[in-house]
Copies of this chain bind each other. A is one copy, B any other.
Amino acid sequence: MGSFQVRTDLALEARESISEADSELHGVSVEEYYREKEDVRVTKVSIDTKNGAKAMGKPMGIYVTMEAPAMAESDEDYHREISKCIAEELLALIPESDREQNVMVVGLGNREVTADALGPQTVDNLFITRHIVKEYGKAAYNCSKMNLLSALEPGVMARTGMETSEIVKGVVKETEPDILIVVDALAARSTKRLNRTIQITNTGIQPGSGVGNHRNALTQQSLGIPVIAIGIPTVVDSATIVMDALEKLLEEEKGLDAVKLMSRQRPPFPELNNMYMTGKDIDAVIKRISFTVSEGINIAMEMRME
């Protein structure tokens, strides 16, 4: 890709931008399978070495990407299927445990900005149990085992004056969950992945990624418990769009190289900083997919108990 860094939060897209030979060399392995029933293509990218992490621009860990083309549509039954997929892939990344788990979900992002509201809206639909079990015991749900689910919407720094990581760290220390699930809106490189791709990773959240960049690291290293991040791209970076269009336009022109052209600009397109691109029906789409994610988490909480 040369000196022009195209931004993507998806390991899948980062992987596409380096050659296969290169990736094997660097300890990046890729596994793919197709869930026919749900028309979902799953790609599991494992970054196993520091070299791989460097080549990919992403920390070591496992990145599961589910591509569900119909997810932007409003078919309720289909969304239920996707929720089940999410539940299964999520559980596969959560360390096994015999005992009940105390799980906290953190909904990152800004509720007031539609494209950034995936996290907060996911929190709205969770089946929260921690306070009930704490108060009345598992008997309240007529069961002998019951995971505890709590949720936090930390808000954005401009509103709180605090880093998201400060808020989350404090609350984690105080309430001692076993596992953290972080939900956030992502940026993709390709418009065709918008609202159609779910990334689940055990690497947590790193500074500088996400729609609004509203946090420092939320990782196992920083918090002391496993951190699973669920992300869906809801925006495309403006510079990315320009790059894509340019490449397409210049395909047939000889002697021109989009990357070379772009990299002449330093920084590239300053007027595009702090801008993003998103779809016009984004409000309905976010409402639907946040519900699908929250149902995925709800189902996972129950499955673990069976």
Chain A interfacial positions (CB closer than 8 Å to B): 110, 112-114, 123-124, 128-132, 148-153, 155, 157-163, 166-167, 169-175, 191-192, 211-212, 236, 238, 241-242, 245-246, 248-250, 253, 256, 261-262, 264-265, 269, 271-272, 274-284
CB contacts (< 8 Å) of A130 on chain B: these are 161-162
Partner among B160, B276, B282 whose Cβ is within 8 Å of the Cβ of A152: B160
A-B contact pairs, 14 of them (CB 8 A): A113-B282, A131-B160, A131-B162, A151-B160, A162-B175, A166-B171, A167-B174, A170-B175, A173-B174, A241-B242, A253-B256, A274-B280, A276-B280, A277-B278
Given contacts A245-B246, A274-B281, A279-B275, contact A148 B128 (CB under 8 A): no
Partner among B158, B167, B174, B192 whose Cβ is within 8 Å of the Cβ of A128: B158
Closest 6 CB pairs of A and B: A170-B174, A130-B161, A150-B161, A170-B170, A112-B283, A242-B245
Minimum Cβ distance to chain B for residue A197 (Å): 15
Apart from A166-B175, A277-B278, what are 11 other A-B pairs with CB-CB below 8 Å?
A: A112-B114, A151-B160, A152-B155, A167-B175, A238-B277, A242-B246, A245-B272, A248-B265, A250-B261, A256-B256, A275-B279
Residues of A contacting B: mostly = helix
| Nearest B-chain residue to A174, judged by Cβ | B170
B159 x A123 contact (CB < 8 A): yes
CB contacts (< 8 Å) of A123 on chain B: these are 159
A56 to B277, CA, bound (A): 27
B274 x A245 contact (CB < 8 A): no
| Nearest B-chain residue to A169, judged by Cβ | B174
Minimum Cβ distance to chain B for residue A98 (Å): 22
A276 x B274 contact (CB < 8 A): no
Minimum Cβ distance to chain B for residue A90 (Å): 18
Partner among B131, B162, B250, B277 whose Cβ is within 8 Å of the Cβ of A157: B131
A84 to B162, CA, bound (A): 27
A160 x B150 contact (CB < 8 A): yes
Given contacts A128-B161, A278-B275, contact A249 B246 (CB under 8 A): yes
